[in-house]
Structures are given as C-alpha cells and as structure tokens.
Amino acid sequence: MAGDLLKKSDGTALLSGGNPQIAKGYGNAPVQQFIAAMPGWKHEVGRRLDELIVLAFPDVEKAVKWNSPLYGTEKGLWFLSFHCMTRYIKVAFFRGSELSPIPPVSSKQAEVRYLHIHENEAIEETQFLEWISQASRLPGVKM
C-alpha cells in the first residue's frame, strides 16, 4: 500500500528511497546502526564514507537526527550529513559553498552543496578527504 514503510529483515524501517529510520541519538553507536541498516550497495558506501570522515577528522562528533547521520566539530555543530535516496546517496556539506573546489551539486540553500554517489561509482577519496579537512575547519552549522 502506498505510504507504507518497507522493512529490512532485521525489522528496521526503510523510508522513501530506502533511507533507514533510526532513532535520534548521539555518538558512534546510532551512526553505525544507521549504516548497518542502509540497504544493498548503499551499506558499503556508507561504511566507507564513515571511515573516510574519521580518517580526515579523527575527533569528529557523530549523531543521527532526522534519519540521517551527522558529523561535526562538536555536539550540535555539524559540517556534513548523508541520506539514502532511491538511486544515490546524497552527501550534504552544510557550508559546501566555502569548499574548494565546490562540491558539484547545488542546493536551494546557498551555502549547502551536495555530492551524489551512485551505484558502481567510485568515491574520489582524495578529494573527499580534502573536503572533510576543509569542512571541519569551518564553523559548524547548529541543528
């Protein structure tokens, strides 16, 4: 029936586009729960994004809010999130317009820029690490 949530075999609800419905929480545990619940190919990409973020900024703060993992410089100040869409993972850089080079996908919000990662598409890890390094030095966005 339209509007019903899909369920993974572990009982996790998947929202529109296959995004996991995970309870709000702070720290690594809820982020790892979110990543574990990401469906299909998106799970491995989510795992690698998390690894790269921690590699670039080992002191990163993590949370899950609004059914998306958030990464920040301190609790409540965030620089990045990602979200499962039907055909790709949308990585949001909250101050992306200040990164160099600017991430490729624009937003309705002037400062926000996105990176879309599709199935069988490699993450340009060197560039991603540089964006994380830059983003972690900018003032975080309060959410």
For residue 72, which of 27, 10, 112, 32 has the smallest C-alpha distance?
Answer: 27
Q: Report pLDDT for 2.
A: 40
CATH number belonging to domain 14-142 = 3.90.1150.200
Q: DSSP class of residue 103?
A: P
Residues 63-115: pLDDT tens digits?
A: 999 999 999 998 889 999 999 999 999 999 999 999 999 999 999 999 999 99
Q: How confident is the model at residue 7 (pLDDT cuts 50, 70, 90)?
A: low
- Domain residue limits, the chain: 14-142
What is the Cα–Cα distance from 31 to 65, expressed in whole angstroms?
Answer: 10
Here the tokens at position 97 are 């317009």
